[in-house]
Amino acid sequence: MIEVIQVNTKNRRQVHDFIEFQYDLYKDCEYFVPPFRNDIKTMMNIPTLFDPKGHPFYLHSEAAFFVAYKDEAPAGRIAVFDNRLYNQHHNAKTLSFTLFESIDDQEVANALFEAAFEWGRARGLNLAIGEKGFSSFDGYGILVKGFDLLQSMTMSKYNYPYYKDLFEQAGFEMEVDFNTFEVPGGIPNFVIPERVQVVSDRVQERGFLTVSRFKDKKELIEVAKKELVAMYRNTFATNWEYYPWLDEELDFAINQVLLVVDPALLKVIRTSNGVMAGFLVGFPDISHEIQQCKGRLTPWGMLRLMRAVKKNRENLILNGAGVLPKYQGRGGNALMYTEMQKTATDFGFNTVDICQIAETTRKMRSDMENNLGVEVTKIHRVYRREF
């Protein structure tokens, strides 16, 4: 017998079942990187030691959390939300969902999806899209390729191969794929194609585009708040995932990023008159250290992660790279690619993963595969279904 309940976030047992199900499901999986339990509680708007005010998403929207039980044992879960700023901006009636997990049982998945649809119908929504997190900073999609590779920290999802079937047999169709690329053979053996290097050198010699690094976290915060957000709003307002963030959401996201960022690995591409034309965001891959925390962020665990951010130079994760469209055909992309290599080389990284590049960014994907020779190693798929 299958029963689905909506979690009462004040009920400790129900919250426990929602959070712990994922850890039980992947307890023997070597590729899974467990999120921190406090992060999930914050997403559920449950005050925690690290974020006593809860998640700023709830200043404008609402969410619900469901757990499926089979024979009285937890068998699946899903989080759904009505992002009102998103729906207002796009004139849409979209039900977004995330944190989906299930045993390999179509009836369990169907019951979870139906509970989600019913919640959406009660709010006048008619289109489900996911996985899609609470903000544009969260990872997108379920994994459909790359099941034998370690999860890229908690920036994107790991799940078992049968998830694809659970979605498609429930009537979901592909909305968009996000690709993760890898430099074959590692950085020491990688050489930027001559034509790309020539274009990059030319735009820098002419002073048309330049690259700058951040001195410290204070400067990073100032640029993020003043320039990066403005660029995002002006350039990507028509993108399917965009919505106008509140200042509180931006502050929340910046504070999250600051935990695992080395400012020296973030770069900004500017025009000769100082206008931001692109950016490059890199993170030392501390997936193994996060695994060792087992989902609990203690003071000792925090120190271990901060030490790893400074010292771990095995793999570089680039999870944020882009050039404004009007500069892509004027040397911007070439400059960004050479900076990717320079960043990895200067800091002594052996390998690089370029994460979550949307399939719809055709120019960048074409450059990656045809000009740089990098390979797609992971694919995360966002699904959609009308209900």
**Homologous superfamily assigned to 2-179:** Gcn5-related N-acetyltransferase (GNAT) (3.40.630.30)
CATH architecture of 187-378: 3-Layer(aba) Sandwich (3.40)
**What average pLDDT does the segment 7-28 reach?**
97
**Tokens encoding 143:** 């994994």
Nearest-5° Cα angle at 37, 80 to 75: 55
Preceding peptide of 131 cis, ω within 30°:
yes
What percent of the chain stands above pLDDT 70? 97
Neighbours of 284 (CB within 10 A): 23
Rg of the Cα trace of the chain? 21
**321 alpha carbon, distance to own chain's centre:** 13
More confident residue, 101 or 367: 101
Q: Where are the alpha helices (DSSP H) in the chain?
A: 12-25, 37-43, 84-90, 106-121, 163-169, 194-205, 217-223, 229-236, 247-258, 287-293, 299-311, 325-327, 333-346, 362-366
pLDDT number for residue 50: 66
On the question of pLDDT at 329 being above 80, the answer is no
Strands 315-323 and 351-358, bridge-based pairing? parallel
CA distance 78 to 84: 19
Residue-wise pLDDT for 330-351, tens only, equals 888 888 889 888 888 988 999 9
For residue 77, which phi and psi values (nearest 5 degrees)? -155, 165
In the block, residue with structure tokens 């003043």: 226
pLDDT number for residue 138: 81
CA neighbours closer than 13 Å in the CB half-sphere of residue 97: 30
Residue 57 DSSP SS3: helix
CA distance 146 to 195: 31
pLDDT number for residue 381: 98
pLDDT confidence tier of residue 222, bands split at 50, 70 and 90 = confident
CA distance 326 to 279: 14
Residues forming CATH 3.40.630.30 domain(s) in the chain: 2-179, 187-378
On the question of pLDDT at 282 being above 80, the answer is yes
Strands 142-145 and 375-386, bridge-based pairing? antiparallel
On the question of pLDDT at 113 being above 70, the answer is yes
140 and 382 in contact (C-beta within 8 Å)?
yes
382 and 141 in contact (C-beta within 8 Å)?
yes
**What mean pLDDT is reported for the chain?**
90
What percent of the chain stands above pLDDT 90? 52
